[in-house]
Chain A
Amino acid sequence: MTLSEVTERISRKLEAKGAQPDRQKIESRLRRLVEEFGVNVDEAERTVTGDLAREYNVTGVGTGGSSSTELRQIRDLAPNDWVTIEGKIVALTPPVSPSIAQTGIIADSSGAIRFVAWARGNPPAMEYGHWYRLESAVVDEYKGAPNLKIHSGTTIARAEEDAPLLPSITPIAELKPGVGSVRAKVIQDWEVSHDRMLQTGLLGDETGTIKFVIWKEEGKDRLELDAVYNVYYATVDEYNGRLSLALNTAMYIPDEGDIEVGRNESETRGALVHIGPGSGLIKRCPVEGCNRTLSRQNYCPVHEIQPEFRYDLRLKGVLDDGVHAKNVLMQREVVERLAGITLEEAVGIAETNPLGMDEIFYRIRNTVLGRYYTCSGSEFDGRLLVNSCTPIVFEPAELAALLNRAGGEPA
């Protein structure tokens, strides 16, 4: 892109607003920024356009790339674009700060995006459920998701008619931070962890599962466990590399039918090369919904001393296939089968043996350490939650195949 092209573009923009700019002046200003100050061309264009717009006292001049007046699909918006879109206001959320006039979600048939309208530009209020044309809005990134900024230079026009809009449904496995619509089944309903939380749990479709949250708000209902819903325009957040859905911006409508939820189970083969501390017989906090592991002194980090603890068996280990080491977590049923000891037996041994609970740790470790297993389960937080674990058995066919592969002369 040459400077004269940029000059031409700036002049046209200003002329379209009724100003008569001096092309030479524009070009010399650009040249000065680019050549003397090493500013990149895009930034120089923005600066010069902004400066001149102020000088000629015109507003609504798009200061970005050439496509700012061309109508764009919401799905294709990327950060740093200056864009013109047409969309329907599908959600309005309470602004978090007085400097924000409106926040919500605007959608077209291709997708949806969160928007924020800044109060300083005095934008006209947009109404829920209507279509608007937004010219010269800016896409930026907020918390890892694209976000549309409506500023003083953005023109907002109500569309003449409100076309019906069918949201496009995204498979859960393909959700990205931003806004997403899913058809999913409520497969788990968890204890809420916060006063302001109405409900939290797990939604699933054929491709996978995702955590959801509904914050307390007027007019928000809980989801029914095991029911299928169409969830339109939920907010997809990312935290520590994991996605979750906030349903407060969403409309959720019960749907018929059932969904075979894909558990994204994975299977790993390898040797158990490490049995971590906290394996074996443990004590858990009896307070409802807590379930934390107690220290040897029966201390729960939240509920302090709990003499009425519950016993449990678990195994935290590393399953290693020689190329990757994977953390695995096994719950009571799996450990009982693997180590050939029931929880009751373990408690009995621990209460009569001088080593106490350590005895169970050693017994389990000596039974499983260094042995080969196939573990399958779901992955969570970089750890495999094992549903089933079976010892690998020796297959003569495999020996034959490896002998062939090593390719020596027959013995």
Chain B
Amino acid sequence: MKPQSTFEREPARRVFASELRETRYQFKDGEDEKSPTYVILPTGIRSNRIFVVGTLTEKQRQGDQNIFYRGRVVDPTGTFFIMAGSYQPEAMQQLARIEPPAFVAVVGKPNLYTTPEGNCLVSVRVESIAVVDRETRDLWVLDTARETLDRLDAFGTTDDSRKAQEEYGTQPDLYRKIVYDALSQVQL
């Protein structure tokens, strides 16, 4: 355990929806009950927080006793499934106020679920969400493209990326293509 004084907040990784959708591997860093849970992203980095900007296309209130909101946020590569429940009251109320469609910025924790049928789903538990503009969305695509390419450039040289190789058999070229396609959708 690091002492409190050197605590560093976990950075919010930039990841495209199509990469997050492939994420399957989750682990706990440490034995403690409060040890953080990470996922390994296919391009080879651990993450327990992500930052995404996209279009909120759909929002739904669910549950009777425990109300929570689900939403879909779309980026150029696919869809993020986001949710905010009563454990994140601020985030839930923010989400409740936003009417789709809208450009939103979301900070949240990636979560893996296995459905009763055995499918693995990734959702994002929202920490905060705010309405932004198109320019912020475009900046995010550039930012996420850059971070993804940086990870691909370092692929195979870090422990996390070797783990990703083992778990996913990642093909870096495939992700370069995804990045390229995402960038192509940004209008000059």
Q: Give A residues with C-beta under 8 Å from B.
A: 240, 271, 273-275, 318, 320-325, 327, 365-366, 369-372, 392-394, 396, 398-399, 402-403, 405-408, 411
Contact = CB atoms under 8 A, between A and B. Distances in A.
B53 interface: yes
A408 B180 contact: yes
Contact of A372 (B143, B145, B149, B183): B143
B112 interface: no
B188 interface: yes
Contacts of B145: 402, 406
Contacts of A275: 128
Interface in B172-188: 176-177, 179-181, 183-184, 186, 188
A370 B105 contact: yes
B69 interface: no
B133 to A, nearest CB: 8
A402 B138 contact: no
Interface in B86-129: 104-107, 127-129
A365, A396, A408 pick with most chain B CB within 10 angstroms: A408
A318 B9 CA distance: 9
29 contacts: A240-B5, A271-B140, A273-B128, A274-B9, A274-B127, A322-B11, A322-B51, A322-B143, A324-B8, A325-B11, A366-B130, A366-B131, A369-B105, A369-B130, A370-B128, A371-B136, A372-B143, A394-B139, A396-B188, A398-B142, A399-B142, A399-B183, A399-B186, A402-B142, A402-B145, A402-B183, A407-B176, A408-B176, A408-B184
Nearest to B146: A402
A403 B5 CA distance: 41
A372 B12 CA distance: 13
B135 A370 contact: no
A142 to B, nearest CB: 22
Contacts of B131: 366
Given A274-B107, A275-B128, A322-B11, 4 more contacts: A274-B9, A325-B8, A365-B128, A371-B132
Interface residues of B, number: 41
The 5 A-B residue pairs with the shortest CB-CB distance in the complex, in nearest-first order: A370-B105, A408-B180, A406-B180, A369-B130, A325-B9
A274 B51 CA distance: 11
A319 to B, nearest CB: 10
Contacts of A324: 8, 11
A94 to B, nearest CB: 33
A372 B8 contact: no
Contact of B107 (A370, A372, A411): A370
Nearest to A367: B130
A375 to B, nearest CB: 15
B14 interface: yes
Nearest to A275: B128
Contacts of B64: none
A274 B128 contact: yes
A103 to B, nearest CB: 30
A366 B105 CA distance: 10
Contacts of B104: 370
Nearest to A327: B9
A322 B145 CA distance: 12
A272 to B, nearest CB: 9
Contacts of A394: 135, 138-139, 142
B46 interface: no
B12 A320 contact: yes
Contacts of B181: 408
A100 to B, nearest CB: 32
B72 interface: no
Nearest to A402: B145
Contacts of A372: 136, 139-140, 143
Contacts of B14: 322
Contact of B149 (A274, A365, A406, A411): A406
B10 interface: yes
A273 B181 CA distance: 26
A321, A370, A372, A398 pick with most chain B CB within 10 angstroms: A370
Nearest to A323: B11
A401 B184 CA distance: 12
A309 B183 CA distance: 51
Contacts of A370: 51, 53, 104-107, 128-130, 132, 136
A403 B183 contact: yes
Interface in B64-96: none
Interface string B146-183: 11010000000000000000000000000011011101
B24 interface: no
A274 B90 CA distance: 12
A134 B1 CA distance: 45
Contacts of A393: 135
A408 B49 CA distance: 29
